[in-house]
Structure 1
Amino acid sequence: MKWLFSAAVLGLVVLASGCSSNYVMATKDGKMIMTDGKPKIDKETGLVKYTDDSGHELQINGDEVSSIVER
């Protein structure tokens, strides 16, 4: 019985650690960009770095982004 409880707790920890929040970035020209994980804003360059749904790492000029919302 004790091993069953331990296995259940371990399963929940694995499930929780695998979940990352996804975001939608709206651009000033009306495009919606779906991201895998939270976009990171580079304060030095002004670029917003993000990973798209296909796993590609991309960047966009922060001046082009009107909002970033968790989905």
Structure 2
Amino acid sequence: MKGLVSAVGVMLAAVLMSGCSSDYVMATKDGRMIMTDGKPAIDKETGLVQYTDEQGHQMQINGDEVSTIIER
């Protein structure tokens, strides 16, 4: 019985943790739609928007090129 309770607890924790990361869509002023894995971060000093693309690569785009950022 303890093993079953532990297994259910681990599965519940995994489901809850997987729901913490939301995906976002960034629309650029030239009409591109950029899908991100997680929330993009805006660097106030440089003006760059840092994000992880759907393939897991760390990317940056000039914040002046981004028109909107929307959570999916």
Same fold flag (TM > 0.5)? yes
Identity in percent: 68
Aligned length: 71
What's the secondary structure of 1:49's corresponding residue? strand
Aligned residue in 2 for 1:44: 45
> How many angstroms apart in 2 are the aligned matches of 1:26 and 1:43?
19
> How many angstroms apart in 1 are the aligned matches of 2:66 and 2:60?
11
CA shift digits 1:4-58 (9 cap, x unpaired): 1221111110222234211000011111000011100000000000010111111
Alignment RMSD, CA only?
1.2
TM-score, structure 1 as length reference: 0.90
Alignment map for 1:1-71 (pairs within 5 Å): 1-19=1-19, 20-71=21-72
TM-score, structure 2 as length reference: 0.88
Please identify runs of 4+ aligned residues in structure 1 that moved more than 4 A: none
Look up the equivalent residue of 2:12 and give its one-letter code: L
> How many angstroms apart in 2 are the aligned matches of 1:57 and 1:3?
40
Look up the equivalent residue of 1:8 and give its one-letter code: V
> How many angstroms apart in 1 are the aligned matches of 2:43 and 2:37?
17
Stretches of structure 2 that go unaligned for 5 or more consecutive residues are none
